[in-house]
Amino acid sequence: MITLVGTKDKFLEICDKVDLVKGVRLTQEKLYKLLVASIYHPGVFALKSIEDGKMNGCMVLLSGVDQLGEKVVSLVFVWIDAHYPKLHNKFIEQAVDTGKFVGATRLSIQTDKAEKVINRRLGKFGFKQACCIYEKVI
């Protein structure tokens, strides 16, 4: 069962999972600050799944407005235990439900992963590449 997380001690458990995800630029410190902000900001959602008293998945969503003024929910971080592959479906469904709840028109994911990997993992859920972002580190 996926539930909303709202206490600081549970945030640390989610932050510990950052190190288990390969190639993520998000740090534990930045994620913790965002999670603490969720206590005061209604647009940040920290979710977790527990089975047999152990967390087997977590997800952080951020509701906001894009450059065109449309509401969008962004997936900031997700970790799912490899022993629970069907949990991906439940977390995507929860993200869509959260988007509908806040009145968002899109669910957005920004990632550094290869395009083929993303298409293979998320294409079956109806995700498609909508744009391409170029950046320069300054």
Q: Is residue 21 part of a domain?
A: yes
Total-model pTM? 0.81
Q: Is residue 34 part of a domain?
A: yes
CATH of residue 101's domain is: 3.40.630.30
Domains contained in the chain, number: 1
For residue range 59-116, list pLDDT tens digits in order: 999 999 988 888 999 989 889 999 998 898 899 899 999 999 999 998 887 776 666 6
Residue range(s) defining the domain that contains residue 6: 2-110
Q: Is residue 121 part of a domain?
A: no
Give the 3-state secondary structure percentages of the chain, helix then strand then coil, rounded to 5. Answer: 40, 25, 35
Alpha-carbon dihedral angle through residues 115, 118, 123, 128, given to the nearest 10 degrees: -50
